[in-house]
Amino acid sequence: MRQSLLRVVFGACLVAAAAFSAGSASAADKASSSEKVSAAVGKPLVAAQTAMKANDLTTALAHVHEAQAVPDRTPFDDFTINEFLANIAIGMKDYKAAATSFEAMADSPALPEDKKSNVLTNAVLLAANESDWQRVIKYGEALEAMGPLDPKVASPMSVAYFNTGNAAKATALAQSQAAAATAAGKAPDQAALDIVVRGQLKQNDYAGAAKTLETLVANYGDANDWGELIDMAFMTKGLHDLDALHLYRLRIVTGATTPADDYAIMAQVASQLTYPVEAVSMIEHGMSKGVVKAGDKASGLLAGLRPKAEKDKASIAEFDKLAQGHKTGDYDLKLAETYYGYGRYGDAADAAQRAITKGGNKDPNDAQMVLGESLAMQGKNAEAAAAFAKVSGNATTEKSAHLWTLYTQRKSTTAATQ
């Protein structure tokens, strides 16, 4: 989770710094309405500017160093020199050097009012990439004193507050930014939502954290967030094996982060429910991800599971015939679950629909669940959501249906934007 925070902040930094670089290259001959660069400093800076326009950053840097060697420089001379150094560093992708220059500009007594917001913003973002949280807070609070914070500044500030031990302030800032984005019809910032989750968990607000994670997966579909959300679903009281199976299936289709030992548990549950083919495919999924390796508990289960899976495959045609001829839907439901594990989603959906039509199932919710899952795996997201919507009367199964619905809604949204 913490890596995703820094990734989001760094992306914002590149955007802001690039915008600054494009807009301030003419600092030597267009300084400030109230101050000008001294002649001795201005001459090498004009040469640096010419070199920058030719994309000769090495020569430009040499000319800026000439300007630094001029004695008796004014504070505005130094501010402008750092402005050039920042632009050159950005062009060279030396963000550490750029951060140093922006810090000097932000602290300069000659910082012009018309450049203050831009300089402080870049100082925040570059400091965040250096994980210098105290500087992020320093310059962020200076910006806050000037007016409402831009989300690209508020996000690293909330991270900074959290990483310096002020979880309450971090959460409050992140929540306000997320609420503002939602009110504006925009997706809340991922880093802000991450911080909200951390703060809620720190305060043992698991219901709030689950709700925030739902917003995260709905907007971003991050594997870590899916993994954490599904883990929290397992805290639901009264969870039975079939509910666990539905959550395990969701782990796989969402690509949720899953430890190697969990693949062993997943396979054991599927096997106990007499779905050995699905148990094998779960372990093989973990192996394809590079999570399950030789010698792991999960891989050790394969030797015992594969013969059962082959026996199951050999009898599936006979069982299909038996189920279709049965008066009640209990056999069809079993067949639907089995076909899902085979990856035969069309057959699974047909069997599940027969089970629903015939009735006589111990728990009708199970038939709706496998129907929804099978439809979702065929890309029939609206139909899948309609099936999940009919799950009711059981809190644990309703939780599984709700999360699967989030998955189908995200798939629909993603497909619509492609």
pLDDT digits (tens, 9 = 90+) for 237-296: 889 999 999 999 999 999 999 999 999 999 999 999 999 999 999 999 999 999 999 999
* Each residue's pLDDT tens digit, 109-125: 999 999 999 999 999 99
* Each residue's pLDDT tens digit, 323-359: 999 999 999 999 999 999 999 999 999 999 999 999 9
| Distance (Å, whole) CA 395 – CA 238 | 8
Q: Tell me which of 8-17, 155-164, 321-330 is least confident.
A: 8-17
* Paired tokens of 245: 């199976």
* Paired tokens of 370: 């496998």
Nearest Cα neighbor of 100 from 113, 89, 110 is: 89
364 CB-near residues (< 8 Å, 6+ apart): 356
| Distance (Å, whole) CA 37 – CA 79 | 9
Q: Name the amino acid, one letter, at 156.
A: P
Q: Name the amino acid, one letter, at 31.
A: A
* Each residue's pLDDT tens digit, 309-326: 999 999 999 999 999 999
Q: What is the pLDDT of residue 15?
A: 36
Mean of per-residue pLDDT scores for the chain: 90
Per domain, the residue ranges of the chain are: 2-141, 165-220, 225-417
* Each residue's pLDDT tens digit, 164-173: 989 889 999 9
In CATH, 225-417 is 1.10.3470? no
Q: How far is CA 147 from CA 13, 140, 150, 230, 334, in A?
A: 20, 11, 9, 39, 62
Which range is most confident: 20-24, 68-72, 186-190? Answer: 68-72
